[in-house]
Amino acid sequence: MRFICSLFPSQLVKTADLDPRHNYILGFHPHGVLVAGAFTNFCTDATGFQQLFPGLTSYLLMLPLWFRAPFFRDYIMCAGLIPSDKESASYPLRKKKGGSAVVIAVGGAPEALDAHPGTFNVLLANKKGFIKIAMEHGAHLVPVFSFGENEVYDQVENPKGTWLRWTQDRLQGIMGVSLPLFHARGIFQYSFGLMPYRRPIYTVVGRPIRVEKKEKPSGEDLDALHQLYMDELSSLFDEHKGNYGVDKDVHLNFV
């Protein structure tokens, strides 16, 4: 796994301590084409997750569809991935002694269709399911932004309103997975292929947002925490973008 991380390379950046006596939901943004930053940082210890956050065990959520494939299912479970249905996601958060860090690529498969280099679109404006789970279990929220996630692949232009995007949206609605038409480099040449570009990915883990447990949170509770989360994610991006080659006038675009 260290060889995979050194390919980009991938680096995990800590900004605050996470107390292992609590459980956490880490919101990962953006999804990118293949969620490379989430896999390399939270499904392996090649970038030092265990050393940076001692006492925590990370679990990356993945579409339940992939757990129906024999052998592949066993492989991804060994890497710490779990299905993204509510029951599976909630199970680690029930640990009374804490120590669980559930990682959710909040934008999901639809966000992958907008993973173009140089873009900072985050599918979050109407995403409140993970907020509700956090409140129901009293799990603290942690925003995570992966600088460079959208840079490792090029994608065929597919703006909304085109026949390609219409087809991709329809297939995603039917199958549950998105089908971005991506390309990058080859193994022995750098002009075309499916190997990712060797561009650095910096996954920055933000400060925890304290969440009080409410088994039946009201709509107002969800809206307030959701807005706070978006504000914290924006602050995290603005604080660190200068370190990773993003222009100071660029801001997150919530969709």
pLDDT band at 5 (very low <50, low <70, confident <90, very high): low
153 has pLDDT over 90: yes
- List the structure tokens of 13: 């950046």
Give mean pLDDT, residues 4-30.
92
Q: What is the DSSP letter of 216?
A: S
Percent of the chain with pLDDT over 70: 98
6 has pLDDT over 80: no
Question: Looking at residue 80, what is its pLDDT?
Answer: 85
Question: Looking at residue 66, what is its pLDDT?
Answer: 86
Would you list the DSSP string of 118-177? T--EE--TT--HHHHHHHHHTPEEEEEEEETGGGS-EE----TTSHHHHHHHHHHHHHSS
CA atoms of 227 and 204, how far apart (whole Å): 20
CA atoms of 51 and 122, how far apart (whole Å): 29
205 has pLDDT over 80: yes
Q: Calculate ∠ Cα 212-109-163, nearest 5°.
A: 140
Give mean pLDDT, residues 141-151.
97
pTM over 0.85: yes
1 has pLDDT over 70: no
Question: What are residue 202's DSSP bridge partners?
Answer: 11, 147
Closest CA to 59 of 34, 76, 36: 76
Q: What's the full length of the chain, in residues?
A: 255
Give mean pLDDT, residues 241-248.
94
Residue 144 CB: number of other CB atoms within 10 A?
A: 25
Give mean pLDDT, residues 115-123.
95
Question: Looking at residue 2, what is its pLDDT?
Answer: 60
CA atoms of 158 and 136, how far apart (whole Å): 38
